[in-house]
Amino acid sequence: MNAKRFVLTFVTAMVIFGFILTACGPKPVPEGPTVEETQAAPVQPGDGGRKVATLIYTQEFDNLAPLYTDMWFAWTTWQMFLHWAWEFDEKNEPFPRLVTEIPSQENGGLSADGRTLTMKLRDDIKWSDGTPVTADDFVFTWEMAVSPNNTVTSTYPYDKIESVTAPDPQTVVVTFAEPFAPWLATLWHGILPAHILRPVYEAEGTIDNAEWIKTPKVGCGPYLLDTWESGSYARFVRNENYWGSRPILDEIFIRFVPDDASQVAALQAGDADLGTFIAYSDIPTLQQAGLNIVTEPSGYNEWMFFLVNDQVGHPALTDVNVRKAIALSIDREAINRDLLLGLTKPPASFWDAMPFYNDPPLQNYPYDPEEAKRLLDAAGWVDSDGDGVRDKDGIPLELDYGTTIREIRQDVQAVVQQQLAQVGIKVNLYSVEADVYFASYGEEGPAATGQYDIQQWSDGPLFPDADLYYWLCSEIPSDEYPAGSNWFYLCDEELDSLIQLQATQVNIKERQQTISKINQLFYDKVYILGLWQDPDIYAVNPRLKNVKFSGVTMFFNIGEWDLAQ
Amino acid sequence: MGRYIIKRLLQGIPLLFFISIILFVLMMNMGDPVATMGGRRVTRASDYERLRRQLGLDKPIYTQYLYWLIGNDWTKTDVDGDGVAETPGTRRGVLRGDFGVSLVSRKPVLQVIGERLPNTLILMLASEFVIIVGSLLVGVYSALRQYSALDHIITALSFIGYSMPIFFIALLSMYIFGVLFKRWGLPYLPTVGMFDPQAGKTTAQVLWHMVLPVLSISIISFAAYSRYIRSTMLEVLGQDYIRTARAKGLPRREVVYVHALKNASLPIVTVVGLDLPLLLGGAVVTERIFAWPGMGRLFLDHVSRSDLPVVMGILMMIATAVVVFQILTDIVYAWLDPRIRYEK
């Protein structure tokens, strides 16, 4: 039996079996419409007129309490039940939420030295149990973040604060130890309810085991956590006590579906209204099924990172001309066109998604293998033994290039290997599971210990802030300092001082100039090479209305989402 | 028999103790739970050191094992990092029923496992039931009608089923019965999850959502079991005592289902006895594809985050179940075969 006949036979058998199964089964309950139905005629919401939107998360959030997780899926969900002090719209512009206005030097909210921030809270905001949200909640949140008794995932950025005080219930005064530029993007992503957690802290000395930390059912956002069944779903219901405009949907049902193919099938079948982290290869299928694909720049781009260190990496990579030759040898436009369906472009700047900081905008290195060969020749890397691989002083130009097993990355690796071979650079490819790849220095993770001359993953500045810190000389990992985050082992004193300077510049114009210098330095010295833009990609069923995404989070206007009537 | 069971249970205690040491050491080398706590980014150095200290991960491995086993409420720990152990420990240890707290969700391990175990049992017991009943029927029929046309067809289908990767069966069935059937306007099956949010978590909904996962799990094991039953039945049917039973004029039904099947069941009981405790571990691939919130996914999710307390909890539960089910298997042996005696 040939393969085609076998598949046909099997499918036929499955279809017949399916008929039997479905004929014997209970009558399916009313479900979301098929795509065709949606397009043909708007649908009524589900049973009893309740409007329930079903969302798919490809990962389950590990925890929903602010401070206790840094996972993206948790971070983005907070806005559903816990407003941030200020949030970011679809243009990634900040707008006030719990405060009356965003502090600035113009309105007196930010002191001239950049150390003191004065926030004015709205007087109508309240928790879902009726307790007003006051400045005390902000003070308590800061105290809990820096308390040594709480195992919060990160004390940043609260550890940059010297004090938080509440002169009155509607005023919060934040004093930084030093001027702290990234405050707007990093502070007050969800606050803790002091009236619930302070008694726990006073009784137990920690809030680690508080019920609210495990299931935060009291909130100040448009929806409230009702049920969270581990591994299966989380159900959010309308906050009937919400202080803002009444949320339109009755319920938001988040289903955890870890498998990409299953997510696509569920979206095609109409079993979900919104899918997250859609793979590029699935976009045509979903578009064909009538789903809207939304791409939202998130600050992340896919990069090749060069290991520039004569002790750890390949000696050739310490020469800027070799790095430049690599940039000229890879046809990144073709990669984006052929492997990423033309949906993305190669980013020239680390701040590609933040035009304000990519000013003047950088232009990508062109695909010019002949110029690459000339640069390599000039740098002394020539093929002296005729084996097709350039060498110098007996050292072959043979680089180890490692990334994770994500399919698109492996595809790109193969293309890069071929293109670099054409200019005489041999590349050995490595791809490992993400948890192994990103394991720490202490665990001998290949990236952390500098095992690859070229590394690749998706990264960006501290979006929506422009901050960056990986490349600090003091962050190079070692046996004495295994926690170091500079996995590129690069120590450039000029870059180091610029990175440190921008983090303290609260004057936005001055900071922009500093970051422009870093931008140009990255480009001129080719420390990194952009492969493709990596926006967040969502698939949205057309029946879901008024959906807007920010590159920062998904839910800044969740209260306005609606289902087609 | 009672003495035998008690003896076996007592033998199980040191066995579980050694298993726990081996697993703990292996899991400690599995990965770094703090390394993945930074979300999309590498965990900051200051947070990294603080968290390792607060979670007790900076202690030597034997100390961590000791705390896991007997707790740390008899000593003090340095929580604030000033080098002075000032905070009394709160863990009571596995021996006193405290499996610790998940490093990922901050929930007690027993609660984390308890939330998932019923879902896995529903799925796996239903699958095991379908597998055993189906394979018994098919296996016995094939043995009795050896080399018949239907036997050949069943044999062929068994091998096809056995050779299929489960993810292929799962995705194909989901696409056909969930996506295409709906597109064609036919009654269709749900793709993912345990119930439809509009309908709520009713028994009918859960059963309806179980159809495809149970089908996927069953196809592969069904093929293996039915082949196994067929061969053992064929062996038993050729025995002298079966010929004697037939010669005595016993009804065919009694010969096959009482005399032959009971004896043919012994090796099958061994296989089922080994399989049952593993059911607690869930079906990793099937649960992932159908988004079924079972133990397999729990294990996978927490292994990838190096969540040692939860992973150890799951592994020790399975290890204990293996020991208990082996004792139960021995008891069933004695019931099936009167020649087997465990006491003099």
- Residue A273 burial by Cβ neighbours in a 10 Å radius (0-12, 13-18, 19+): buried
CB spacing of B179 vs A269 below 8 angstroms: yes
Kindly report the nearest CA distance between residue A431 and chain B, in angstroms: 17
**Can you tell me the distance from the alpha carbon of A407 to that of A431, in angstroms, rounded to the nearest whole number?**
10
Chain A residues touching residue B193 (CB < 8 angstroms): 232-233, 255, 257, 271
pLDDT at B342: 62
Token pair in block for residue B27: 């899991």
Question: For the segment B179-190, what is each residue's pLDDT rounded down to a tens digit?
Answer: 899 888 888 899
pLDDT over 90 (residue B311): yes
In chain A, where the domains are located: 21-40+48-296+536-563, 301-533
Averaged over B274-282, what is the pLDDT? 74
Residue A509 CB partners (closer than 8 Å, separation 6+): none
**Can you tell me the distance from the alpha carbon of A162 to that of A116, in angstroms, rounded to the nearest whole number?**
10
pLDDT at B89: 84
Q: How many residues does chain A have?
A: 565
Cβ-Cβ contacts under 8 Å between A and B: the total is 228
Picking from A484, A149, A477, the residue whose alpha carbon sits closest to that of residue B81 is: A149
Percent of chain B with pLDDT strictly greater than 90: 24
Single-letter amino acid code for the residue at A493: E
pLDDT over 70 (residue B21): yes
Element (H, E) at A18: helix A3-24
DSSP classification of residue A475? G
CB spacing of A231 vs B190 below 8 angstroms: no
**Can you tell me the distance from the alpha carbon of B139 to that of B131, in angstroms, rounded to the nearest whole number?**
11
Residue A297 CB partners (closer than 8 Å, separation 6+): A92, A352, A353, A533, A535, A551
Alpha-carbon distances of B52 from A138, A225, A343, B80, rounded to whole Å: 27, 30, 42, 12
Residues 274-293 of B with CB under 8 A from A: 288-293
- Which residue pairs from A70-77 have beta carbons closer than 8 angstroms and sit at least 24 positions apart in sequence? A70/A153, A70/A154, A70/B37, A70/B38, A70/B39, A70/B40, A70/B41, A71/B39, A72/B39, A72/B40, A73/A276, A75/A189, A75/A553, A75/B39, A76/A553, A76/A554, A76/A555, A77/A234, A77/A254, A77/A555
The CB-side HSE value for A332 (13 A sphere, CA atoms) comes to 21
Count of other CB atoms within 10 angstroms of residue A185: 21
Q: What is the CA radius of gyration of chain A?
A: 26
Chain A residues touching residue B207 (CB < 8 angstroms): 26
Cis amide bond preceding A103, omega within 30: no
For testing contact with chain A, the best of B29, B34, B36, B40 (most A CBs within 10 A) = B40
ipTM exceeds 0.85: no
pLDDT at A14: 46
Among partner residues B41, B80, B291, which is closest to A255 by beta-carbon distance?
B291
pLDDT over 80 (residue B2): no
| Burial A412-430, CB ≥16 within 10 A → b, else e | bbebbbebbeebbbbbeeb
**Can you tell me the distance from the alpha carbon of A286 to that of A295, in angstroms, rounded to the nearest whole number?**
14
Residue A123 CB partners (closer than 8 Å, separation 6+): A170
Picking from A457, A231, A448, A445, the residue whose alpha carbon sits closest to that of residue B30 is: A445
pLDDT at B248: 86
Chain A residues touching residue B55 (CB < 8 angstroms): 151
Let me know the angle formed at the C-alpha of B285 by B280 and B290, rounded to the nearest 5 degrees: 95
Kindly report the nearest CA distance between residue A214 and chain B, in angstroms: 7
**Can you tell me the distance from the alpha carbon of A549 to that of A552, in angstroms, rounded to the nearest whole number?**
8
For testing contact with chain A, the best of B27, B29, B36, B42 (most A CBs within 10 A) = B42
In order along its 565 residues, chain A shows pLDDT tens digits of 344 444 444 445 444 444 444 444 433 333 333 333 333 333 344 445 789 999 999 989 988 999 998 888 998 999 999 999 999 999 889 999 999 999 998 999 999 888 999 999 999 999 999 999 999 999 999 999 999 999 999 998 999 999 999 999 999 999 999 999 999 999 999 899 999 999 999 999 999 999 999 999 999 999 999 999 988 899 999 999 999 999 999 999 999 998 889 999 999 999 999 999 998 889 999 999 999 999 888 889 999 999 999 899 999 999 999 999 999 999 999 999 999 888 889 999 999 988 889 888 999 999 999 999 999 999 999 999 999 999 999 999 999 999 988 888 999 999 999 999 999 999 999 998 877 788 778 778 899 999 999 999 999 998 889 998 889 999 999 998 888 889 999 999 999 999 999 999 988 899 999 999 999 999 999 999 999 999 899 999 999 999 999 988 899 999 999 998 6
**Can you tell me the distance from the alpha carbon of B342 to that of B344, in angstroms, rounded to the nearest whole number?**
7
Confidence of residue B223 (pLDDT cuts 50, 70, 90): confident
Tokens 């401070």 belong to A67
Among partner residues B79, B197, B293, which is closest to A148 by beta-carbon distance?
B79
pLDDT at B139: 87
Token pair in block for residue B71: 């707790």
Q: How many residues does chain B have?
A: 344
Token pair in block for residue B14: 């040191």
CATH topology of domain A301-533: Dipeptide-binding Protein; domain 3 (3.10.105)
Q: pTM of the entire structure?
A: 0.82
Chain A residues touching residue B297 (CB < 8 angstroms): 231, 258
At A161, give phi and psi (nearest 5°): -95, 135
Tokens 């062109």 belong to A366
Which range (A17-21, A372-376, B117-121, B278-282) has the least confidence?
A: A17-21
Among partner residues A75, A149, A255, which is closest to B192 by beta-carbon distance?
A255
Kindly report the nearest CA distance between residue A117 and chain B, in angstroms: 25
pLDDT at B304: 82
**Can you tell me the distance from the alpha carbon of B117 to that of B119, in angstroms, rounded to the nearest whole number?**
5
**Can you tell me the distance from the alpha carbon of A335 to that of A341, in angstroms, rounded to the nearest whole number?**
9
Among partner residues A72, A257, A483, which is closest to B291 by beta-carbon distance?
A257
Among partner residues B39, B45, B190, which is closest to A483 by beta-carbon distance?
B45
Kindly report the nearest CA distance between residue B20 and chain A, in angstroms: 22
CATH topology of domain A21-40+48-296+536-563: D-Maltodextrin-Binding Protein; domain 2 (3.40.190)
Picking from A219, A212, A293, A263, the residue whose alpha carbon sits closest to that of residue A559 is: A219
Tokens 């490992």 belong to A432
At B314, give phi and psi (nearest 5°): -65, -45
Residues 161-220 of B with CB under 8 A from A: 171-179, 181-183, 186-194, 196-199, 204-205, 207-208, 211, 215
**Can you tell me the distance from the alpha carbon of A133 to that of A243, in angstroms, rounded to the nearest whole number?**
11
pLDDT over 80 (residue B64): yes
Query: Residues B146, B148, B150, B153: what is their CA dihedral angle, to the nearest 10 degrees?
Result: 80
CB spacing of B55 vs A31 below 8 angstroms: no
Picking from A454, A460, A458, the residue whose alpha carbon sits closest to that of residue A408 is: A458
Chain A residues touching residue B291 (CB < 8 angstroms): 232, 255-259, 262
CB spacing of B105 vs A15 below 8 angstroms: no
Single-letter amino acid code for the residue at A238: R
Picking from A547, A387, A539, A358, the residue whose alpha carbon sits closest to that of residue A466 is: A358
Are residues A396 and A268 in contact, defined by beta-carbon separation less than 8 angstroms?
no
Are residues B268 and B229 in contact, defined by beta-carbon separation less than 8 angstroms?
yes
Alpha-carbon distances of A309 from A59, A332, A487, B250, rounded to whole Å: 36, 25, 11, 86
Residues 84-103 of B with CB under 8 A from A: 87, 101
3-state secondary structure B91-114: CCCHHHCCCCECCCCCCEHHHHHH
DSSP B208-227: HHHHHHHHHHHHHHHHHHHH
Work out the mean pLDDT of chain B and round it to a whole number. 85
**Can you tell me the distance from the alpha carbon of B320 to that of B277, in angstroms, rounded to the nearest whole number?**
9
Longest dimension (CA), chain B: 88
pLDDT at A35: 32
Longest dimension (CA), chain A: 82
**Can you tell me the distance from the alpha carbon of A191 to that of A199, in angstroms, rounded to the nearest whole number?**
16
At B46, give phi and psi (nearest 5°): -65, -40
Cα torsion angle, A551, A555, A556, A558, sign: positive
**Can you tell me the distance from the alpha carbon of B314 to that of B317, in angstroms, rounded to the nearest whole number?**
5
**Can you tell me the distance from the alpha carbon of B276 to that of A190, in angstroms, rounded to the nearest whole number?**
45
Averaged over B105-116, what is the pLDDT? 91
Distance of CA A119 to the CA centre of its chain: 27
DSSP A273-338: SEE-S--GGGHHHHHHTTPEEEEE--S-EEEEEE---TTTS-GGGGSHHHHHHHHHHS-HHHIIII
**Can you tell me the distance from the alpha carbon of B265 to that of B11, in angstroms, rounded to the nearest whole number?**
27
Cis amide bond preceding A360, omega within 30: yes
Q: What share of chain B is helix, strand, coil (3-state, %, to 5)?
A: 70, 0, 30
